Structure 1
Amino acid sequence: MTRRHRRLTAVLLLAAAMLASAWGAGRIAQERALRRLSAQAAGQLQLRALALQRFVDRYRVLPTVLALDPVLRQALEAPAGRVDTAALNRKLEQANGLTHVSTLTLIDRRGVALAASNWREPSSNVGLDYGFRPYFQLAMAHDHGSFYGIGVSTNVAGYFIAEAVHDADGRRIGVVVVKITLDTVEREWAGDPATILLSDAHGVVFLSNRPAWLYHPLQPLAPAAAQALHATRQYGEQPLRPIRARTVARLADGGRRVRVTQPPLAHEVLWQSIALPSQGWTAHLLVDTREAAHAGWRAALVVLGGWLPAILLGLFLQQRLRVARLRQRSREELERLVAHYAGALRSTQDSLVQAALQAAAGDPDCLERLPQGVSVVDKQLRLVAWNRRYAELMQYPSGLLRKGRPVEDLFRHNAQRGLLGPGDVEEAIQRRLDYLREGGPHTYERERPDGSVLEIRGHPLPDGGFVTSYADITAYKDAARELRTLTATLESRIDAATREQRLATAAAHRANRDKTRYVAAAVHDLLQPLNAARLFAGALREPLHGAGGRALLARVEHALQALESQLTSMLDLARLDAGGFKTQVADVPLSPLLGELARQFGIVAQARGLRLDFVDTRAWVRSDPVLLRRALQNFLSNAVHYTPRGRVLLGCRRDGDQLRIEVWDTGVGIPDDQRELIFQEFRRLDSGVDADERSAGLGLSIVRRIAQLLGHDVSVRSWPGGGSVFAIRVPRAAPAEAGEAPGAAPAADTDSPLVGRRILCIDDDTQARTAMTVLLRRWGCRVDTAGDAIEAAMLAGSAPAPDLVLLDYQLGDTTGPALLPDLHRRWGCEPPVIVLTARNDAGVRAELETAGLRFMLKPVSPSRLRALMSRLLAHHG
């Protein structure tokens, strides 16, 4: 292969490497950008889903409150024709004016609307038959119902929330329906650059910030689904044509690259979805992927630009190698010349001394064969021999050189011509005479006025005298000068190439720097005025009185507090990131703090069928009590949320001069590869929005920031399928001489029908019994408790029959209803019984209805429990 072919092959290989590396870098950059976009889209979708869920939950309690209104109940129980429809219409109109919802409707058991808040409008609901609507059917069958669809009379889409109204015997006699429009949500979505969709259980898009997507199924409808939509008239006469789209690729976090092929929606998007189980909806976020493609192109161009300094560096190294080889060659050549010159010089010196001895002996012709000029003096420093080359080099006039002339005369002649240099002439002559007398060898160079250079070497003779040679080395000097010039030129070229390489490297670095853009998601409009709170308070103050009103008001406050807690988590995260928290570190007793948290989350754990145990302590720690409480709240919230069965344990243990506060659970555990990811924002073990405890995935992120702010250590141990341990290490402090008196319990409402009644609570869960005891005593009841069949039998044999029994369905290996025959025999009567159960299946319902027992599902609503207890006690006399 010729040199030209080799060079062409190298260029082709270099071009192929450049293209391959640019393609690979572009592909990697595009994939990273897609993953980043997918993560951002998932986080934004979480926030959108939470905001939507909270908007809906704002009105979820309203039908429950209205269902307890005695005016509405009397209207449903009254015979046909005796209902004051006008008064009902005005009442619903007034309630609707307070909440600003779309429509409130009261429907009787046949499905006919008795009254509505829009009775003044031409599209009034009054008198219309809504028996075919799913929300009415669900409420009449299961007490609750919800449905999204286009209104029959108004032709306006909205979300319907229905609650059954019960008579005194607990029979369903009608339905209260609240219809809310999602215009507010749609307006909030309008400014989002991404496409946001909300689809129902059949995949039909019914809400979007892009009108072109509305009422399009995301996949072809099954015949049964199409028939159901037609029967319920959910979307009126809207044509339901499916969107034409195909999935291009799936990402590891659940996102998809989808190409939509239906104009005007045709483009490729990054698709993220999240389920809203409470409504059976699915929220979608569609982000344009062109930004990721642009990132890939930019990376490819940067890599191609990065090849430029590499090529320049290669050329520079090649040049350096070439110069190094040239230097090595020049050095070797110079060394050969020096060696040759030294050898020749030694040979010349030997021949010079031999020729001088022969000339001194009377054979002057031997000096004529030498190439350099030679002069010989004896011990008295008189000239005894010379050759013509010496006379030519020194340019002596004829007659000056003669045998026996003192060499001092020659020195003076040279001084007159200025050949001895500057300074005192006599001193210069004497110095040269001393050299000759001492007989030591010497070598020096003399540059003459004409520019020629003479190398003068003197050597003593064996029997006295001196021989001096004069060689014209002007050519050697010129060669050395040219070699030095060449070396300087090469060095200057190397320096210039080095500067060019540095400039090229700096240009490549500038080309490789790319500005990184950070997308900051601002939480806005999250603390809007909660208008529903005024309705709840007003509704509770007007129709209800006494302890029942306070219980309902407490429920409203609890709902508002839960909403505010989640909003506060998001705002706290932003404040922690911005350094907005000012810590107030102090010596804190742990017992009140942990005890309050145990009581608070014990009720939540009991509602989920769990047991929360608390190990008390007398230790004090050095920390910020507010931030420490917040961190432990998040630990307990996660433990309760991710523990489907078993228990949660809160306690602490010493760790040197520190105290480790730990939360143990028997939950699902955390895989090894996710133990660090869970501390990131919006990262959860499950990606859905849980209906019972919706979380944005910010709790552990807030805990880590709090720990960093306070200088505490956070750790986690976990066993997948076996539970987890979250811990925070806090410095211990010396106990202080301080204490607080326990607060007095609130006084019971003396007007309540429950005041003074004796209630027996049978439950094998200690925390559940404690919570129920506190609640019943606040209502003014006298409470006895039993944890199993033996304690219940002993209590029945030693005390009179209670006024009412609260009975847990599952008591260890047996059931609560199985204890009743023995208890009835011991009491001699059958007091009313309310069975509390977490099993919502048809078998348990049938068993309890056959036995004639009233039951409530866990978690128990305090207001509904109080209402049912009051009715049973009144009916029992």
Structure 2
Amino acid sequence: MYRVSRYRPLLLTLLVMVGGTLLAGLVAGRYAQQRALAAESTQVRRQLDLYAQTLQQRIDRFGTLPQVMALDPDLQQALRLPLDDAERHRLNLKLQQANNVTRASTLTLIDRHGVAVAASNWDQPTTNVGEDYSYRPYFQQAMEKGSGRFYGIGMTTAVPGYFLSQAIHDTDGSVLGVIAIKIELRALEQEWLQSPDIVMASDAHDVVFLSNHDDWRYRLLRPLAPAERREMLATRQYADRSLQPLRSRTLNLLEDGGRMVRLEQPSLPRPVLWQTYVLIDPHWKLHLLHDAGASAAVGRSTALAAGGIWLALCFLTLFVQQRRRLASHRQRSRLELEAVLQQHAQELRTAQDGILQAAQQADSGLARSLAHLPQGVVVIDSEQRLVAWNARYLELFRFPPDLIQVGRPIADAFRFNARRGLLGPGPIEEAIERRLNHLRSGRPHMRESEKDDGTVLEIRGNPLPDGGFVTSYADITAYKNTARELRSLADALEHRVAERTRDLDEARREAERANRYKSRFVASAVHDLLQPLNAARMFVSVLRGKLSGDARELSEHVDAALAAQDSILNSLLDISRLESGTLQTHVHAFALSPLLETLAREFGIAAQSRGLQLDWVDTRAVVISDEALLRRILQNFLSNALRYTPRGRVLIGCRRVGDQLRIEVHDQGPGIPESLQGEIFEEFRRLDDGVDQERGAGLGLAIVERIGRLLGHRISLRSTLGQGSVFAVTVALGDAAAIPAPAPAPVAPVDAGDDSPLRQCRVWSIDDDPRVCAATRALLERWGCVVELADGPQAALEIASTFNVPQLLLLDVRMGQWHGPDLYEHLCELWQARPPVILVTAERDDALKAHAAENGWGFLSKPVRPPALRALMTQLLVRHRA
């Protein structure tokens, strides 16, 4: 029974440590796995959104083409009357030329009976001409509703594609026929191959028709109803393809709509995360199957870390308890030692009195009075001869019995100790003489001496009135050992603190490296996204100039959507530059009034379009800041104020606060709850009560917060629910005398209408993106330019010579192995001339912009606004001719 009770605390401690380790690992691992899985699901959702945007953009790129071609008089005339061979050949060539420009798969003209009368692939073995397409849904939809859309496998080409159709009407409103365009989407599958995940697209019947893995294509996500099978057989949507079921089992559902599934056919070794994105038009679904093994690894690592932390805490607790017990024990020992020392001191004082008597009565045998003392004591007379001693003195130095005798010189005892090394290094006689001289001097002394066996003695000496000397030897070894242990503990704690400091420094450096990597990744990703966006905006600009009415309004909506995407990408790039510290600032004194007036004029038009009133209060204040970055802060304030104010007015003004100025933007919106006022300055945080069609990406206030931190400006917010909000930025006041005099404004060239410098101007456009080249060529030719080259850097180097020097060069900067300014120098050597050049780039590099300004080059950032490009081209040509 005694043994069980003795080991019970140890068993309980082991149980708490092992049980706590398992429980902490289980809870922390499961929590970390769920968090990691949620983060992966969010990342997969964003990736799926990008795939959906890419698919939607590819379809929208050709969305208006059938409508435009349906207005072609040649196509209408071809459907009114029978065609002879010459007219049919001319019509085929026209469709072929249009198809080469638009880069679609095929263009097909179908009469009201469903028979193809002309097609862009008229010269191919698998031509559509003469084929009956009356059973195809896109033909039937166009005949009934005016337009149609359908995805299926081509019956003549056996190539799958997405068909867009538009009815062609006669002047009396009757339907003459249908123009159909086929878009091949197989290029998307090639892009998806770069992803390690499985990407699929399914139609309204839940049939997978696109995938980056062949085994997953033409799979059924659910059983088909009999009516659906009959419809697919009638339309021959997937021809003779065999549709196999895709069997899966859902393991659990996530909060954002994702789910963990086990794939049985086709089979996968591990469960995967399945996310689905629903496209509204067309009614398709995009699916992404992501291997979630990383989240399980995170869970396992976190479980091990949590278990290790729990064990470390347990050991730390045991260590602290042990330290407390040891400290308590040392405290008790110290108190006991102090009590013993006090007792010894008292005894020593008593002994000294006895020693004096013993010294005077040594011949009477009174030395026995020293026997009770704990210290070793020896008494000598004025001639350094032994008078009295006690047993403790003999015990400490282990003298032989015949050495210590009354009347014997103390030098003999010193010599005996010196031969044993107790008097230290050096000649023996010199050490003895030093001690004898000290005794003769009659001065009291106290010192410590350590023997070979580790014993530490405290030696105290005091003179006697008659010229003798008494010396006591106290053993203080235990006290010295305790002091050494305390010093060792202090050294160990200092070493542990130094180790923890090094670990924290390494963790900080790792976090800084991760932050730099993230910033470089965002900057690179935004650069790559701006390339196709630049081409899209140029195509839209060309298309808008050729359309009118509803079609022109539709193109303006597309341009507005692209502008919104441009704003989001630029915001992401600004955040990346702010976080990486590459954004340069130019802080100086400037008058605030022109900036407020410009903002009021720009945002006043937007306010009127929303039925709001924008007021501003003029000021004569001079502030010290970066004018461009301060303008960016106020633009975001005004944009948010207009977005979240359904009715009423918005006011921008300023207040003096000591030697600073607070610029405020007041709105009459719904207000912001106090619990959300700190979160709205984070990325992708936005309120849900703004105007639906004006919802931003949630980056504006995050950029404001970072710019304010960079410039040292305080950003503040006051808001009352139901009454509105006040956003403010506080800047330092400056001196008007510090403002430099404004430079004279350059005289703008006069545009002489048809005599514009762009007309018949020979232009080269060099870019490594074929879409940008095609869009630039179309835009420049619309302005009357002669585009001699719109291709990549290698093609430019191959044809450049002194006989084809362009009058103007549009040049990208980052083109694979080529850097734009370096390529320009190579071309100038081949041309033996230096034509004016405009750098058109997605790089947001202030150093590059400054380099262009020093050389007199133009500089535009992608995506390019066509009016800005045209103005800069005109300015460079006029200046070059002058």
Q: Deviations over 1:520-540 (max 9, x none)?
A: 362426524988999999999
Which shifted more, 218-227 or 648-657? 648-657
Give distance in 2, aligned partners of 1:274 and 1:148.
18
1:570 and 1:698 in contact (8 A); partners too: no
SS at match of 1:261: strand
Query: Which of residues 64, 67, 73 in structure 1 aligns to 2:67?
Result: 64
Give distance in 1, aligned partners of 2:652 and 2:664.
5
Give distance in 2, aligned partners of 1:109 and 1:717.
66
Which shifted more, 626-635 or 85-94? 626-635
Residue 177 (1) aligns with residue 180 (2) = yes
Give distance in 2, aligned partners of 1:628 and 1:67.
50
Q: What is the one-letter code of the residue matched to 2:296?
A: A
Counterpart for residue 114 of structure 1:
117
Alignment of 1:705-784 (within 5 A): none
1:446 and 1:456 in contact (8 A); partners too: no
Counterpart for residue 421 of structure 2:
none
Counterpart for residue 792 of structure 2:
none
The change in CA–CA distance for 1:115 and 1:706 in structure 2 (over 3 A counts) is farther
The change in CA–CA distance for 1:619 and 1:129 in structure 2 (over 3 A counts) is farther
Give distance in 1, aligned partners of 2:183 and 2:323.
80
Q: Deviations over 1:151-189 (max 9, x none)?
A: 232222112222232322444433222111112322222
Residue 483 (1) aligns with residue 478 (2) = yes
The change in CA–CA distance for 1:682 and 1:277 in structure 2 (over 3 A counts) is farther
Give distance in 2, aligned partners of 1:425 and 1:629.
92
Counterpart for residue 577 of structure 1:
576
Residue 290 (1) aligns with residue 293 (2) = yes
Aligned-residue offset at 1:444: 8.5
Aligned-residue offset at 1:652: 3.6
Ranked by relative contact order (alpha carbons within 8 Å, sequence separation 6 or more), the top structure is 1
Q: Deviations over 1:73-105 (max 9, x none)?
A: 222333688994333222211111111101112
Give distance in 1, aligned partners of 2:707 and 2:438.
93
Aligned-residue offset at 1:676: 6.5
Residues paired across the two proteins, number: 684
SS at match of 2:215: helix
1:631 and 1:706 in contact (8 A); partners too: yes
Give distance in 2, aligned partners of 1:313 and 1:231.
76
The change in CA–CA distance for 1:170 and 1:597 in structure 2 (over 3 A counts) is farther
1:375 and 1:468 in contact (8 A); partners too: yes
Counterpart for residue 164 of structure 1:
167
1:309 and 1:504 in contact (8 A); partners too: no
Q: Deviations over 1:719-763 (max 9, x none)?
A: 99x89879675979999999999x99999xxxxxxxxxxxxxxxx
2:380 and 2:470 in contact (8 A); partners too: no
The change in CA–CA distance for 1:270 and 1:624 in structure 2 (over 3 A counts) is farther
2:543 and 2:555 in contact (8 A); partners too: no
| RMSD over equivalenced CA pairs, Å | 5.9
Give distance in 2, aligned partners of 1:171 and 1:570.
46
SS at match of 1:483: helix
Counterpart for residue 405 of structure 2:
395
Give distance in 2, aligned partners of 1:134 and 1:444.
115
Alignment of 1:625-774 (within 5 A): 652-654=652-654, 657-661=661-665
SS at match of 1:615: strand
Query: Which of residues 334, 337, 362 in structure 2 aligns to 1:334?
Result: 337
Give distance in 2, aligned partners of 1:61 and 1:231.
28
Give distance in 1, aligned partners of 2:389 and 2:299.
86
Counterpart for residue 108 of structure 2:
105
Q: Deviations over 1:642-679 (max 9, x none)?
A: 99xx769665455554554567678xx98887776666
Alignment of 1:344-423 (within 5 A): 344=347, 367=366, 370-371=369-370, 395-396=405-406, 422=433
The change in CA–CA distance for 1:42 and 1:394 in structure 2 (over 3 A counts) is same
Counterpart for residue 239 of structure 1:
242
Query: Which of residues 128, 140, 143 in structure 2 aligns to 1:140?
Result: 143
Alignment of 1:2-13 (within 5 A): 2-13=5-16
Counterpart for residue 566 of structure 1:
565
Residue 527 (1) aligns with residue 531 (2) = yes
Aligned-residue offset at 1:349: 6.8
Give distance in 1, aligned partners of 2:695 and 2:238.
29
Give distance in 2, aligned partners of 1:165 and 1:180.
20
Unaligned runs of 5+ residues in structure 1 are 399-409, 436-441, 461-465, 606-610, 748-877
The change in CA–CA distance for 1:7 and 1:194 in structure 2 (over 3 A counts) is same
The change in CA–CA distance for 1:293 and 1:374 in structure 2 (over 3 A counts) is closer
Give distance in 2, aligned partners of 1:3 and 1:739.
96
1:65 and 1:539 in contact (8 A); partners too: no
Alignment of 1:210-289 (within 5 A): 210-289=213-292
Give distance in 2, aligned partners of 1:697 and 1:189.
28
Q: What is the one-letter code of the residue matched to 1:216?
A: R
SS at match of 2:124: coil
1:212 and 1:265 in contact (8 A); partners too: no
Q: What is the one-letter code of the residue matched to 1:395?
A: Q
Give distance in 1, aligned partners of 2:142 and 2:345.
118
Residue 42 (1) aligns with residue 52 (2) = no
Counterpart for residue 802 of structure 1:
none
Give distance in 2, aligned partners of 1:662 and 1:103.
56
Which shifted more, 305-314 or 728-737? 728-737
Counterpart for residue 200 of structure 2:
197
Unaligned runs of 5+ residues in structure 2 are 372-376, 392-400, 417-428, 754-882
Give distance in 2, aligned partners of 1:211 and 1:387.
110
The change in CA–CA distance for 1:108 and 1:537 in structure 2 (over 3 A counts) is farther
Residue 128 (1) aligns with residue 131 (2) = yes
The change in CA–CA distance for 1:393 and 1:226 in structure 2 (over 3 A counts) is same
The change in CA–CA distance for 1:677 and 1:129 in structure 2 (over 3 A counts) is farther
Counterpart for residue 834 of structure 1:
none
Q: What is the one-letter code of the residue matched to 1:167?
A: D
Aligned-residue offset at 1:680: 5.5
Which structure: larger Rg? Answer: 1
Give distance in 2, aligned partners of 1:536 and 1:415.
111
| % identical aligned pairs | 37
2:351 and 2:370 in contact (8 A); partners too: no
Give distance in 1, aligned partners of 2:273 and 2:235.
33
The change in CA–CA distance for 1:173 and 1:308 in structure 2 (over 3 A counts) is same
The change in CA–CA distance for 1:510 and 1:627 in structure 2 (over 3 A counts) is closer
Aligned-residue offset at 1:66: 0.6
Provide TM-score, normalisation by structure 2: 0.61
Q: Deviations over 1:584-641 (max 9, x none)?
A: 8976455665555565787xx7xxxxx4434365748989898788788878988999
Q: What is the one-letter code of the residue matched to 1:527?
A: Q
Provide TM-score, normalisation by structure 1: 0.61
Aligned-residue offset at 1:305: 4.3
Q: Deviations over 1:211-242 (max 9, x none)?
A: 22222233344444444434433323333333
Give distance in 2, aligned partners of 1:469 and 1:453.
17
1:107 and 1:114 in contact (8 A); partners too: yes
Give distance in 1, aligned partners of 2:308 and 2:509.
12
Counterpart for residue 811 of structure 2:
none
SS at match of 2:134: coil
Aligned-residue offset at 1:514: 11
SS at match of 2:271: strand
Give distance in 1, aligned partners of 2:304 and 2:39.
20
SS at match of 2:277: strand
Aligned-residue offset at 1:469: 9.8
Give distance in 2, aligned partners of 1:681 and 1:120.
55
Give distance in 2, aligned partners of 1:149 and 1:485.
94
Give distance in 1, aligned partners of 2:21 and 2:506.
16
1:93 and 1:117 in contact (8 A); partners too: yes
Which shifted more, 13-22 or 508-517? 508-517
SS at match of 1:259: strand
